[in-house]
Amino acid sequence: MNVDTAPHKSTEILLEKWKQPELITGSEILLRSLVLEGVDCVFGYPGGAVLYIYDALYGFSDFKHLLTRHEQGAIHAADGYARSTGKVGVCIATSGPGATNLVTGIATAYMDSVPLVIITGNVATTLIGTDAFQEADITGITMPITKHSYLVRDVNELPRVIHEAFHIANTGRKGPVLIDIPKDVSAQKAMFEPVNEVNLRGYNPTVNPNKLQVDRLIKAIEKAERPVIIAGGGVVYADASEQLIEFVNKTQIPVTTTFLGLSGFPSGHELWLGMPGMHGTYTANMAIQDADLLISIGSRFDDRVTMKLEGFAPKAKIIAHIDVDPAEIGKNVHTDIPVVGDVKAVLSYANTKATPANSAKWIKTVQTNKAEFPLAYEDSEEELKPQYVIQMINDTTKGEAIITTDVGQHQMWTAQYYRFQNPRSFVSSGGLGTMGFGFPSAIGAQMGNPDKLVVSINGDGGMQMCAQELAICAINNIPVKVVIINNQVLGMVRQWQEIIYDNRYSHIDLAGSPDFVKLAEAYGVKGLRATNKEEAQQKWQEALDTPGPVVIEFVVRKNENVYPMVTQGCTLSEMLLGDEK
């Protein structure tokens, strides 16, 4: 990878350099402020309203700017960077259509609590409200899908606004913050002084929990005979994986990890049950249904986890919920022991008092289920099965790669058959389910982790939504391995139409899609194709041995379904285990 993502000077050196007030433009203030926030890579696309900012970027070397080929590619890349590194992702777009092209990506990050700072240009302050060329009220448009937003009308406010935006984005329940900068503000000059303090009245996220509530939970664990932990994305975002492992080892409670929580607990642990919910494992779903104590840690009881609420965890005498966002507690599921606080802080305190539950018999039960009802599919020597491809990728990477996915069947097969070993190694759109997310998010993940293997697993549908970003992989030699699971159809829609809509297949045929090998080659990227097991192994190894970016198309069976499956309106106990069951 020949892209230099490291800042050229340390923050300490730059603070010393810039400690004396200096008269500079708003655009220069923006760039300096980003550097002082530790930004090393920005994803963006220029336009008229941000030309002063891009003029200031001319020759600027204190962080890398990556020119994407679409604003949606930019924000998904910033999202992948943030999820995989734990840092705040940053993107820039111009006013009007540039800003509105970010909306889907903002909503994606908001649903999954990803810290982003989104910088948009706007028309000059004198033109706001006049329907000027490329004017859009982006702060109004994105109000429901941002954690906070700013419209900066005074250049003197920029240093404070930028510092506050990073603080808000990356504290409490994390999320996207938008800064809208009119063109004249980016051109005006002001005395720049770095801002190091934050004073936001009314914004004080709870970090440390009420210890009495944690003590209640510890007592409940001591009495429990069938406890289960549901670990969610909050474990990953709080960097609390080590604390969770310690907590599980001390309490001897089986763990199921939600879709976004998958990399937060090692899949090789003897007490890991798999993923719960619509496409969760039999072991995980039945454990939830039979549990007498259910402990949600950084999980929001999403509808794809609970399915029919009236039948969710019917035997649970006590439900505990640990979350940094008090609004989530009790929102979907009645909570008996609420614990508000940062997951890492909560578990750190809990580990000082944790003792084993009375769970020996229970552990034997869930481990028996795990042995008797493993994830399984009917393999084939004639056709390439998608599950086989995921298992092959897992085996060759030993669960150590950073995996990004798009949305659909391949996403669920990845969640089921890839065995994640490290936190922040799984990047996927959970709450919003955004097609087109997988590939550009891998670019961001690779920029944030230049020394790690990044594999992007996509369907043939989602890949075509942001395929143009292959250009920047080629130009910058970004070595993402782009996997396309090609079943020539909108697979998850087809599965629903088969099972729920009585085989009435409506507008799902993706015939006429491009030759993905030729598409890759057109952008200057190596393209490979496999149609059987032998080719799959050979082409995948060739991809791994290639130092730059590679696109590998695996042509798989069209009618393969994702199982287990719980259809809408059913409880977790009512699983379809396969075509034959």
Predicted confidence (pLDDT) per residue in 313-325, tens digit:
999 999 999 999 9
Please spell the DSSP secondary structure of 294-356, one letter per residue: EEEES----HHHH-SGGGSSTT-SEEEEEES-GGGTTTSS--SEEEES-HHHHHHHHTTT---
Q: Which helix (H) or strand (E) holds 223?
A: helix 211-223
Alpha-carbon distances, residue 91 vs 120, 212, 526 (angstroms): 8, 42, 28
Predicted confidence (pLDDT) per residue in 239-264, tens digit:
999 999 999 999 999 999 999 999 99
**Cβ atoms of residues 274 and 366 within 8 Å:** no
CATH 3.40.50.10490 matches 211-372: no
- Sequence-distant (6+) residues with CB within 8 A of 390 are 410, 413, 414, 416, 417, 418, 457
Q: Does the pLDDT of residue 580 top 60, yes or no?
A: no
Q: Does the pLDDT of residue 356 top 70, yes or no?
A: yes
- The CATH H-level (homologous superfamily) assignment of domain 386-562 is Thiamin diphosphate (ThDP)-binding fold, Pyr/PP domains (3.40.50.970)
Q: If pLDDT is split at 50, 70 and 90, which confidence band does 22 have?
A: confident
Predicted confidence (pLDDT) per residue in 53-82, tens digit:
999 999 999 999 999 999 999 999 999 999
What is the model's pLDDT at position 78? Answer: 98
In this structure, the dihedral spanned by the alpha carbons of residues 271, 275, 280 and 281, taken in order and rounded to 10 degrees, is: -20
What is the model's pLDDT at position 7? Answer: 44
Alpha carbon 76 to its chain centroid, in Å, reads 9
Tokens, residue 164: 């506050």
- Sequence-distant (6+) residues with CB within 8 A of 541 are 396
Using a pLDDT cut of 70, give the percent of the chain over it: 97
Predicted confidence (pLDDT) per residue in 526-554, tens digit:
999 999 999 999 999 999 999 999 999 99
Which ranges in the chain are annotated with CATH 3.40.50.970? 11-192, 386-562
Which ranges in the chain are annotated with CATH 3.40.50.1220? 211-372
Q: Does the pLDDT of residue 10 top 70, yes or no?
A: no
- Strand-pair partners of 257: 231
What is the model's pLDDT at position 11? Answer: 66
Q: What distance separates the 2 farthest-apart alpha carbons in the chain?
A: 73
Q: How many CB atoms lie within 10 A of CB 348?
A: 17
For residues 551 and 6, give the distance between their C-alpha atoms in angstroms, rounded to a whole number: 27
- Sequence-distant (6+) residues with CB within 8 A of 126 are 184
Strands 481-486 and 454-459: parallel
For residues 381 and 396, give the distance between their C-alpha atoms in angstroms, rounded to a whole number: 20
CATH architecture of residue range(s) 11-192: 3-Layer(aba) Sandwich (3.40)
For residues 264 and 426, give the distance between their C-alpha atoms in angstroms, rounded to a whole number: 9
Tokens, residue 84: 């995989």
Predicted confidence (pLDDT) per residue in 126-156, tens digit:
999 999 999 999 999 999 999 999 999 999 9
Using a pLDDT cut of 90, give the percent of the chain over it: 93
- CA nearest to 480, candidates 427, 402, 425: 402
What is the model's pLDDT at position 9? Answer: 56
> Which residues are marked as active site?
71, 133-134, 183, 492
Please spell the DSSP secondary structure of 162-194, one letter per residue: HHHHHHHHTSSS--EEEEEEEHHHHHSEEEE--
For residues 547 and 550, give the distance between their C-alpha atoms in angstroms, rounded to a whole number: 9
What is the model's pLDDT at position 20? Answer: 75
Q: Does the pLDDT of residue 19 top 90, yes or no?
A: no
Q: If pLDDT is split at 50, 70 and 90, which confidence band does 18 have?
A: confident
Using the 8-state DSSP alphabet, how is residue 450 labeled? T
For residues 317 and 315, give the distance between their C-alpha atoms in angstroms, rounded to a whole number: 6
Q: Does the pLDDT of residue 388 top 50, yes or no?
A: yes
Q: Which helix (H) or strand (E) holds 14?
A: helix 11-17
What is the model's pLDDT at position 579? Answer: 62
Using the 8-state DSSP alphabet, how is residue 20 labeled? S
